[in-house]
Structure 1
Amino acid sequence: MHFDIIVLGAGPAGSAAATWAARQGRRVALLDKALFPRNKLCGGLFTERSRAYYREIFGQDIDLSNAVTRHEIAFWHEGRELAVLEDIPPLHLTMRLDLDNCLYQHALAAGAKDYTGRAVAEIGDHDVTLRDGTRLSADILIGADGVNSILARHLFGAPFNKDTIGFGLEIEVSPETQSPGAHPLRIDFAAATWGYGWSFPKQNSTTVGVGGLHAPNPDMKGHFARYLRALDLDPEAVKVKGHYLPFGDFRPRPGRAHMLLAGDAAGLVDPITGEGIAFAMKSGQLAADAACDALDANDPVSALPRYQTALKEMHRNLRIARTLRRIIFAPRWQKAFIGTFRRSGTVRMQYRRLLAGELEYPQLARSVLARLPRYLLNTVRR
């Protein structure tokens, strides 16, 4: 069967792409190996930036009745509390089971053809063969199938660069072990090298994890065990899941001709906060827009340059964030940054605005660079 667009992956990026394209009258096939609703271990942080993108793409506000909403976040470093940011714009902790199913249902309601629950056996430049023998073809393919993207592997030989990829370990803590309501939303700097730990309370559980760049963390399990013990959790009594994280390793060229990558498949994750859902939805929308414009022009191969143009601002922000990450996470700089974070109300306010989506990285960079001499002086003194 032939479609205008095949979207691989029905998570936030894929469902956004499928919804946006189908609403423009395009014939869209939505593929995913999983049946929905399905569980996905993830911090599930849904910011006000995510909420704004959701409204723009899906045309309505999101139902957050099953989410935990917090207006404060605690920052720790090596067992000491650094600061608690209070009265911040709401941070919503969602379960991906609910969130992703909601987005997927939007895509089906918009008219996307459902091919979920069926794994891909083979992929070509214009066609996809499923394991049950079904063969689909399309003028444009959008790979929104995560960090281990099949389409990225087809295009580039590997889904990601092993030297720059991140890696995370996570668990879901039951309410019997730890009451979600009794614990704050918490970030721990230095829980891993070039990374951090997190504890995100949700309605019926708490997601606890540690993540960072993969290469400098050969013993991520050891980092995670120490972090769990610091939170009074037994590392021997939990089932740990691991997954790769793009962590700022975005692709400057997210595809080829009529084949586009979105969300985690394109490496579009904030390298400082780890936020990925907002970037996934927005990039899915932009990929679908580029695809539809290319089809309108009867020029499918123009999809990639159109998409690259649309992504310029996002790439610029992520590039600046990747530079700032060196100051925040590099071991030689981190103590100076931590000291400044502890003492500087301005830096904390800027971080608060960043989380709220009120500030972009170019503005934050100007604030940090204005204080760089102080960072240097603190480093020398130590």
Structure 2
Amino acid sequence: MKFDILVIGAGPAGSAAATWAARQGRRVALIDKARFPRDKLCGGLFTERSRATYRAVFGQDFDLSRAISRTEIAFWHTGRTLAVLHDIPPLHLTMRRDLDDTLFRHALHAGAADYSGRAIAQLSDNTVTFRDGTTISGDILIGADGVNSIVARHLFGAAFSGDSIGFGLEIEVPPTAQDPANQPLRIDFAAASWGYGWSFPKQGSTTVGVGGLHAPNPDMKARFSDYLLGLGLDPAQTRFKGHYLPFGDFRQTPGRGPVLLAGDAAGLVDPITGEGIALAMQSGQLAAQAALDALAAGAPETALPRYRTALKDIHRNLRIARRLRRIIFAPRWQKAFTATFRRSGTVRMQYMRLLAGELDYPELARSVVARLPRYLLNALRR
């Protein structure tokens, strides 16, 4: 079978790419080793930024009937309340099982060919061979297959760098142990070194997790156990599930020639909030448009430079976010940052406006830097 575009991975990035390209009349194969619906480890935070991106890509508003929406959030630090914000832009808590299945169905409805439930045996720049011996090919390949991307391994030998990757542990707390309707939306700074903890109430469960940079957290299980105890949960009664997090470790060159990487496979995750759904959908759309333009020009090999140009604003924001992460999460500066966060209503609300998609990191950075102690500002500049 010959296609214009092969998309590997049917999560938010892959489904967005497949939908965008198929709607333009291109022959698209959407490939995933899993059958949908399938479970996915993720906090499931669907922000107003995600909602706006969803509308832009899929041409309709997101169905919130299976989500919990909150306009209040609590920030904690080392077991103490740091701030509780009211009347914030809505934050929607979803189950990735439902979200990803919805996006996958959008792609099929747009005309993408369904190659889900098919494990890949061999991969080249333009050919995929499945374990059953079937082979399909395409002029352009988009790898949207997550942090452990086989497409990234094909291109670069490794899916990520162990020195800069993040790692998270997570559980789903059943309503018999904790009623999600009565649980606050909560984020705990310093629950892990260079990271945070989260408690996100959903419909039918509460997602609780801890994540941060992998290298400084050899004791992540112990950190998570302590966090669960602080929430009144018994770690001995739960089974932890772990996964790597591309915590702002994005690829400067997200592909090679006619092969592009999108979403987590390209490291496009916010290094402060950990939010990746909006960036996944947006990068999937941008990768698909770069592919469409390259095909229209009769030059599939130009897809990567087109895509890199389209990603400039995203990469710029992630670079600024990585600098800010040094003062938000670095243990030596956390006391100064939490003091700034506690006293500055402007910083707190602009952080929430960032999640809502109402401003980007340059504006947040200016606001934070203007309120930092001088010694911390000098350290950041160095």
**TM-score under structure 1 normalisation?**
0.98
Structure-2 residue corresponding to 1:15: 15
Q: In the aligned structure 2, how far is the partner of 1:259 from the partner of 1:327? A: 36
Structure-1 residue corresponding to 2:311: 311
Structure-1 residue corresponding to 2:342: 342
Structure-2 residue corresponding to 1:187: 187
Contact 1:85 1:352 in 2 (8 A): no
Alignment of 1:57-68 (within 5 A): 57-68=57-68
Contact 2:10 2:32 in 1 (8 A): yes
Structure-1 residue corresponding to 2:133: 133
**1:22-47 per-position Cα deviation (integer Å, ceiling 9, x unaligned):** 00111000000000011112110000
> Quick check: 350-359 or 144-153, which moved more?
350-359
Contact 1:147 1:245 in 2 (8 A): yes
Aligned-residue offset at 1:319: 0.5
Q: In the aligned structure 1, how far is the partner of 2:340 from the partner of 2:372? A: 10
Q: In the aligned structure 2, how far is the partner of 1:138 from the partner of 1:355? A: 36
Q: In the aligned structure 2, how far is the partner of 1:165 from the partner of 1:39? A: 22
Aligned-residue offset at 1:350: 1.3
Structure-2 residue corresponding to 1:215: 215
Structure-2 residue corresponding to 1:248: 248
Structure-1 residue corresponding to 2:97: 97
Structure-1 residue corresponding to 2:286: 286
Structure-2 residue corresponding to 1:69: 69
Q: In the aligned structure 2, how far is the partner of 1:59 from the partner of 1:358? A: 20
User: Unpaired segments of 5 or more residues in structure 2?
Assistant: none
Q: In the aligned structure 2, how far is the partner of 1:71 from the partner of 1:51? A: 15
Q: In the aligned structure 2, how far is the partner of 1:74 from the partner of 1:132? A: 50
Contact 2:166 2:213 in 1 (8 A): yes
Structure-1 residue corresponding to 2:351: 351
Alignment of 1:32-47 (within 5 A): 32-47=32-47
User: Unpaired segments of 5 or more residues in structure 1?
Assistant: none
Alignment of 1:80-119 (within 5 A): 80-119=80-119
**Percent sequence identity over matched residues?**
77
> Quick check: 243-252 or 38-47, which moved more?
38-47
Aligned-residue offset at 1:348: 1.0
Aligned-residue offset at 1:212: 0.2
**TM-score under structure 2 normalisation?**
0.98
Report the residue type matching 1:335 in the other structure. Answer: K
Aligned-residue offset at 1:357: 1.1
Q: In the aligned structure 1, how far is the partner of 2:243 from the partner of 2:316? A: 26
Contact 2:189 2:195 in 1 (8 A): yes
Aligned-residue offset at 1:372: 2.6
> Quick check: 320-329 or 125-134, which moved more?
125-134
Question: What SS class does the counterpart of residue 82 from structure 1 fall into?
Answer: strand
Contact 1:336 1:375 in 2 (8 A): no
Report the residue type matching 1:107 in the other structure. Answer: A
- Structure 1 vs Structure 2 CA RMSD: 1.1
Structure-1 residue corresponding to 2:2: 2
The number of residues matched between the two structures is 378
**1:78-110 per-position Cα deviation (integer Å, ceiling 9, x unaligned):** 110010111011100001111101100000000
Question: What SS class does the counterpart of residue 223 from structure 2 fall into?
Answer: helix
Alignment of 1:219-234 (within 5 A): 219-234=219-234
Q: In the aligned structure 1, how far is the partner of 2:118 from the partner of 2:194? A: 37
Contact 1:283 1:311 in 2 (8 A): yes
Aligned-residue offset at 1:376: 3.5
Question: What SS class does the counterpart of residue 65 from structure 1 fall into?
Answer: helix
Aligned-residue offset at 1:279: 0.2
Q: In the aligned structure 1, how far is the partner of 2:161 from the partner of 2:190? A: 23
Question: What SS class does the counterpart of residue 372 from structure 1 fall into?
Answer: coil
Q: In the aligned structure 1, how far is the partner of 2:116 from the partner of 2:349? A: 43
